[in-house]
């Protein structure tokens, strides 16, 4: 098509677009461009049949525009030059315009000077939408978002050979400061050819924006965070500038996005500790207390885990004083409790509370899903308390048959039962005298026993079955449950007065899936299973990506299983149960190009990996066909093991024999 007929066609398209764009018409541009065409016609009175020459402002006006963004220009210089070196050989030029659309910095190839000047790709060019019509810079200013304006997306026919991509650069309060643009005089017809340009421009706009943010707040404390611990130092996405009380002074674009997801409309009305559900001290002490200078947090609204680090203000004496005041109150180290976690925000709270309460005689309620380590925590509280030389007695209220639980707990006198021990028996409550009684699954305790337990707690006296004289006991009770006790209270299945007796304070354990220190737990548990075995990176990735419905218990079982199967000193993803392999491949197939997937093929000794069938058979044989034991080891239910056996055509030997006999 000749230039003239292409221009005529373009004018017709714009005019027919008018006020009533027909969706799905392939001649029409994307919605965002369409909105701009409408503004050009309806608001600015531009006429597509009357092209306008490029307008270059005078030297004096240019200087005024440059002065207004002087600080940004200084900060942006390195980023702009770096971006230009990457795109120059591809035929692109680079423009930085101020928020009014005037090009305040330009980098292009001198040999194309005349052509570029004519096209408006020049220092001082006015790319405001009001003058130039739909274009990357002007439309980016109006729409406040990154875009590509490709060829006939432009309004003015004199621009329809160009391809331009622009991204906004905002100040720490979200106001537009400038626009970064890369443009080329010629390009392929397909708009998709510009996808890479769009990503690159957005990336550099963010770098420049963040550099500007850091410069503006160089005298304040900056909290930098990211969803990845490994990347936060080099590429922390979210930035928050803070005052000395932790109040947010400003946030970068990603930081403001998090605030808005958490329904915070005014960024300066919230403190960072509120946003991250933590103490101000947890933030201030990151650099001094965490080994890698990074700490995990969880955001209030989105429950997203964020790894944060601090950039401390230079030469700020009052900050240094404030810091040393806050850091003097250091949480004491208690190895028994400290070893239960590495860096997880929910665990940090729980462990700090446990440290403060461990010597008190207060009863504690431990809440958490099954397998999250409630008993392990109770044991650690006991071992770190003043009662550590006395007994720790654990009772699982759900595991003891209801008919036995009373005698087990309270004991009985001689002759109380036919078949009971002649001398009677000391109940578990009395066995815990002086020490700690851990009542697991307290929600399952029958109501009449709750009444008797309440009396023990209220009076410090236990009355064994058949006895007339109560015996004095001194116990501290740590109770645990995975169920909602307040619901049980409303249903009349749990005594409210007992709940208050038990609940001196509540300690909550997060699910394994929600923990930010999964890697630490994996390594510590593997160390216990077999210190000589190591995990290959593919196995670690699969374990980290898994959702862990059975929590730490399932993790422990999985590692025990993998260690038993691996027959060498290295566990790979192939040694994990089938659901890990499937899940792992699903995650990676979605994100890793085919050429890279080779790293997941099993390599050890060139042996084929054991199949799921072989692994299951091996496990069943080792447990002498005890399906319950296998289910326990795998952290799954018995029906699941039976289902897997059926799927793999595994028949227990007895079955086989009886089939053959019949």
Ligand X SMILES: Nc1ncnc2c1ncn2[C@@H]1O[C@H](COP(=O)(O)OP(=O)(O)OP(=O)(O)O)[C@@H](O)[C@H]1O
Which is nearer to ligand X, 143 or 408 (by Cβ)? 408
Which is nearer to ligand X, 66 or 370 (by Cβ)? 370
Give me the phi and psi of 86, to 5 degrees please: -80, -25
Those residues whose C-beta lies under 8 Å from the C-beta of residue 409, and which sit 6 or more positions away, are 395, 427, 428, 429, 449, 452, 453
Give me the phi and psi of 487, to 5 degrees please: -65, -45
Q: Is 550 in the site for ligand X (CB under 6 A)?
A: no
Cα separation, 37 vs 39, in Å, equals 5
Report CA 451 to chain centroid distance, whole Å: 44
Q: Is 510 in the site for ligand X (CB under 6 A)?
A: no
Cα separation, 615 vs 613, in Å, equals 5
Binding mask 329-358 for ligand X (x = CB under 6 A): -----------x------------------
Cα separation, 205 vs 232, in Å, equals 19
Q: Give the nearest distance from C-beta 524 to ligand X in angstroms.
A: 6
The two tokens of residue 503 are 């609940």
Q: Which residues pair with 308 in a beta bridge?
A: 225, 295
Nearest residue to ligand X by CB is 373
Exactly one of 65, 170, 206, 374 binds ligand X (CB under 6 A); that residue is 374
Q: Give the nearest distance from C-beta 526 to ligand X in angstroms.
A: 11
Which is nearer to ligand X, 96 or 552 (by Cβ)? 552
Report CA 649 to chain centroid distance, whole Å: 40
Size of the site for ligand X (CB under 6 A): 17
Q: Give the nearest distance from C-beta 371 to ligand X in angstroms.
A: 5
SS3 category, 659: helix
Cα separation, 629 vs 119, in Å, equals 77
Binding mask 234-253 for ligand X (x = CB under 6 A): --------------------
The two tokens of residue 296 are 């995990």
Q: Are strands 147-150 and 103-107 parallel, antiparallel or unpaired?
A: unpaired
Q: Which stretch binds ligand X (CB under 6 A): 9-17, 227-235, 369-377, 494-502?
A: 369-377
Binding mask 556-585 for ligand X (x = CB under 6 A): x-----------------------------
Binders in 477-496 for ligand X, by CB under 6 A: 480, 482
Binding mask 461-480 for ligand X (x = CB under 6 A): -------------------x
Which is nearer to ligand X, 206 or 355 (by Cβ)? 355
Q: What is the DSSP string of 596-654?
A: GGGGGS--GGGPPPPPHHHHHHHHHHHTTT-HHHHHHHHTS-HHHHHHHHHHTT---HH
SS3 category, 189: coil
Exactly one of 171, 338, 375, 570 binds ligand X (CB under 6 A); that residue is 375
Nearest of 558, 557, 397 to residue 483 by alpha carbon: 397
- C-beta separation of 170 from 177 below 8 A: yes
Q: Which stretch binds ligand X (CB under 6 A): 163-171, 297-305, 428-436, 552-560?
A: 552-560
Binding mask 37-76 for ligand X (x = CB under 6 A): ----------------------------------------
The two tokens of residue 304 are 């997203």
Number of C-beta neighbours around residue 105 at 10 A: 20
Q: Give the nearest distance from C-beta 571 to ligand X in angstroms.
A: 18
Q: Give the nearest distance from C-beta 376 to ligand X in angstroms.
A: 4
Cα separation, 202 vs 79, in Å, equals 12
Which is nearer to ligand X, 83 or 337 (by Cβ)? 337
Exactly one of 287, 370, 519, 530 binds ligand X (CB under 6 A); that residue is 370
Q: Which stretch binds ligand X (CB under 6 A): 85-93, 226-234, 238-246, 370-378?
A: 370-378
Report CA 338 to chain centroid distance, whole Å: 23
Exactly one of 376, 471, 489, 627 binds ligand X (CB under 6 A); that residue is 376
Q: What is the DSSP string of 323-355?
A: HHHHHTSPPPP-HHHHTT-SS-HHHHHHHHHHH
In the block, tokens 């354990």 appear at 509
Q: Is 525 in the site for ligand X (CB under 6 A)?
A: yes
Binding mask 416-455 for ligand X (x = CB under 6 A): ------------------------x---------------
Q: Give the nearest distance from C-beta 380 to ligand X in angstroms.
A: 8
Exactly one of 371, 427, 435, 577 binds ligand X (CB under 6 A); that residue is 371
H/E stretch holding 147? strand 147-150
Query: Footprint of ligand X on this chain (CB under 6 A)?
Result: 340, 368, 370-376, 440, 480, 482, 524-525, 552-553, 556
């Amino acid at each position: 098509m000749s230039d003239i007929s292409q221009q005529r066609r373009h004018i017709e398209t714009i005019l027919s677009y008018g006020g009533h764009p027909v969706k799905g018409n392939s001649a029409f541009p994307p919605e965002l461009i369409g909105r701009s065409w409408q503004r050009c016609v309806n608001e600015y009175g531009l006429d597509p049949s009357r092209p306008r020459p490029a307008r270059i402002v005078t030297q004096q006006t240019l200087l005024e525009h440059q002065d207004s963004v002087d600080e940004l220009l200084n900060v942006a210089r390195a980023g702009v030059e770096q971006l230009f070196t990457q795109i120059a050989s591809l035929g692109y030029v680079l423009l930085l315009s101020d928020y009014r659309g005037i090009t305040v910095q330009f980098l292009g190839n001198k040999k194309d000077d005349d052509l570029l000047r004519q096209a408006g790709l020049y220092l001082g060019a006015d790319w405001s939408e009001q003058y130039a019509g739909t274009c990357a810079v002007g439309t980016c200013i109006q729409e406040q978002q990154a875009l590509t304006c490709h060829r006939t997306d432009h309004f003015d026919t004199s621009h329809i050979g160009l391809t331009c991509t622009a991204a906004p650069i905002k100040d720490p309060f979200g106001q537009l400061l400038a626009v970064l643009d890369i443009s080329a005089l010629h390009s392929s017809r397909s708009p998709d050819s510009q996808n890479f340009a769009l990503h690159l421009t957005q990336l550099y706009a963010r770098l420049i924006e963040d550099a500007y943010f850091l410069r503006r707040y160089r005298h304040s404390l900056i909290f930098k965070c990211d969803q990845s611990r490994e990347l936060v130092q080099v590429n922390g996405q979210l930035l928050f500038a803070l005052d000395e009380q932790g109040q947010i002074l400003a946030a970068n674009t990603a930081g403001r996005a998090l605030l808005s997801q958490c329904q915070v409309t005014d960024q300066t009305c919230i403190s960072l500790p509120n946003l991250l559900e933590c103490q101000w001290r947890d933030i201030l002490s990151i650099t001094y207390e965490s080994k890698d200078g990074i700490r995990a947090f969880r955001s209030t609204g989105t429950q997203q885990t964020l790894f944060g680090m601090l950039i401390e203000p230079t030469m700020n004496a009052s900050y240094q004083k404030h810091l040393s005041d806050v850091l003097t109150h250091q949480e004491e180290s208690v190895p028994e409790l400290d070893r239960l976690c590495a860096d997880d925000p929910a665990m940090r709270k729980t462990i700090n509370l446990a440290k403060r309460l461990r010597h008190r005689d207060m009863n504690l309620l431990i809440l958490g899903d099954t397998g999250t380590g409630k008993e392990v925590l109770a044991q650690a509280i006991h071992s770190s308390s003043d009662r550590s030389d006395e007994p720790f007695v654990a009772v699982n209220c759900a595991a003891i048959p209801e008919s036995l639980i009373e005698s087990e707990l309270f004991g009985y006198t001689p002759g109380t039962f036919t078949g009971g021990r002649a001398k009677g028996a000391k109940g578990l409550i009395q066995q815990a005298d002086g020490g700690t009684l851990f009542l697991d699954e307290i929600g399952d305790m029958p109501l009449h026993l709750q009444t008797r337990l309440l009396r023990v707690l209220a009076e410090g006296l236990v009355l064994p079955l058949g006895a007339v004289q109560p015996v004095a006991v001194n116990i501290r009770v740590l109770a645990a449950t995975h169920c909602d006790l307040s619901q049980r209270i409303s249903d009349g299945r749990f005594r409210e007065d007992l709940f208050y007796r038990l609940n001196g304070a509540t300690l909550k354990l997060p699910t394994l899936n929600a923990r930010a220190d999964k890697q630490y737990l994996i390594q510590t548990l593997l160390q216990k299973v077999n210190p000589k075995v190591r995990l290959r990176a593919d196995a670690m990735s699969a374990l980290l990506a898994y959702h862990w419905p059975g929590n730490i218990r399932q993790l422990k079982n999985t590692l025990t299983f993998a260690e038993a199967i691996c027959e060498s000193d290295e566990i790979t993803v192939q040694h994990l149960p089938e659901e890990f392999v499937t899940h792992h491949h699903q995650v990676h197939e979605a994100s890793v190009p085919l050429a890279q997937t080779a790293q997941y093929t099993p390599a050890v000794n060139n042996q084929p990996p054991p199949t799921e069938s072989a692994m299951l058979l091996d496990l069943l044989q080792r447990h002498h066909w005890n399906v319950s034991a296998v289910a326990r080891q795998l952290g799954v239910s018995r029906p699941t093991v039976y289902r897997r056996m059926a799927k793999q055509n595994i028949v227990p030997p007895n079955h086989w024999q009886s089939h053959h006999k019949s």
